[in-house]
Structure formats: structure tokens, C-alpha cells
Amino acid sequence: MPGLGRMLIIAGLVLVAIGLLIGLAPRLPWFGRLPGDIMIRRGQFSFFMPITTCLLLSLVLSLVLWLLRR
């Protein structure tokens, strides 16, 4: 069971980090508006695909998890 406890702690820390990121996102003007993020607006229709933002978040999360494993 010690492995399960460690996994739950890491999952909790990840959720806290995501919550902080969501809470701070409106204060970060570049978040969601990076070069490579696709935004299409036509009349009443709008489409947003944050490709670069997702890649950046994936890279940061992968780095954090890699550091936690070491």
C-alpha cells in the first residue's frame, strides 16, 4: 500500500497545480494566446484550439513528473 499512498499524494499535487494554473490563467496575458494557438471567428461561430499552450503544459508536466521520479 505505500505505493498507492505516494501515487495519491502526487495526484493531489498535480490537481493543486492545475487548480492554481486555472486560477492564475486570467492574470497571464500570454496564456492561451501563444503563437501556434488556432483561433477562428466567423460571425456567431468561434473555434479555439490551443495547440502550443497544450504542448507547453505537457512539457512542463512531463519535466515535473520526471523530476519527481528521480
CA-to-CA distance for 18 and 16, rounded, in angstroms?
5
Total domains in the fold of the chain: 1
CA-to-CA distance for 39 and 33, rounded, in angstroms?
9
- Average pLDDT (33-59) is 89
Residue of higher predicted confidence among 31 and 7:
7
pLDDT at 44 over 70: yes
- What pLDDT score was predicted for residue 24? 79
- What pLDDT score was predicted for residue 1? 64
Here the cell at position 16 is: 493543486
Q: For the chain, what percent of residues have pLDDT higher than 90? A: 20
Q: How many CB atoms lie within 10 A of CB 39?
A: 11
Domain that holds residue 57: 2-69
CA-to-CA distance for 17 and 11, rounded, in angstroms?
10
CB 62 within 8 A of CB 54: no
pLDDT at 59 over 90: yes
